[in-house]
Amino acid sequence: MDKIRTIYDNLWQDALVQFNANTWQVDPYINAQQDNRRGLTLLARLSPGVTSRVSNFLSALRKIEPNQYFYPAADFHLTILSIISCYAGFQHNPQLDEAYIARIGECLAELPPPKIHFQGITASPACVIIQGFPADENLQILRDRLRNKFQSGPLPTAIDARYPLITAHLTVMRFQAAPENLPAFIEMLQKYRAHDFGQQRLNHLQFVANDWYLKHSDTKILHNYTLSD
């Protein structure tokens, strides 16, 4: 927990420095028609209660910065692990789906659903993030099982290709342009810095073929898993 909190706090402090220096990482691919970055991901969707609270936050932020990219509620997700982190040109092979599905199922065996507490926000020069804190060890156990299972097996993988996934965060806004009202934008982020977005157990997981942003229109559900308490 302390390690995760430190990651979020360091992101926040760096973001404030970058914001005040007018340094942004504007995403050029959000609306690109030819973005062919694809991958395979095990993820969880948010409960209605958490979804509602996150949506209220984004509505408040959108009033200040309407020209940024705000994730629609249908795209909210928590990445358990990217089995193949998105990269340009990845071709999904449906003939391998059953093998992936079976190995993930083995990792889920007898594992209680992880519990996550979504509290506060952090940011970077590229995006705004909802902070998630695991309330037990089950998320870490599952990630370790998946890493061990796939790294020692024959199936193609690209786990932790960008960075080792430790947190339980939600990316909810990306910059499409420099903010037009920076003081009000930072003030709103400060207001939600410790806001309680709620808790949920991750009883339902999805294995999907997806684009970089997990857009609903570009995500194909390959299998649904249910975890029992």
Q: What is the pLDDT of residues 37-81, one digit of tens each?
A: 999 999 999 999 999 999 999 999 999 999 999 999 999 999 999
Q: Which of 137-141, 169-173, 189-193, 216-220 is predicted least confidently?
A: 216-220
175 pLDDT higher than 60: yes
Mean pLDDT of the chain: 94
Nearest to 40 by CA among 116, 108, 93: 93
Q: What is the pLDDT of residues 203-212, one digit of tens each?
A: 999 999 999 9
128 pLDDT higher than 60: yes
178 pLDDT higher than 70: yes
pTM: 0.94
Q: Work out the number of other CB atoms within 10 angstroms of the CB of residue 14.
A: 14
The pLDDT confidence band at residue 98, using thresholds 50, 70 and 90, is: very high
Q: What is the pLDDT at residue 229?
A: 78
Q: Which residues contact 103 (CB under 8 A, 6 or more apart)?
A: 149, 150, 153, 155
The pLDDT confidence band at residue 161, using thresholds 50, 70 and 90, is: low
Give the domains, in start order, of the chain with CATH numbers.
Answer: 2-226 (3.90.1140.10)
Q: What is the pLDDT at residue 186?
A: 96
Q: What is the pLDDT at residue 228?
A: 87
Phi, psi of 226 (to 5 degrees): -120, 130
162 pLDDT higher than 70: no
CB 168 within 8 A of CB 116: yes
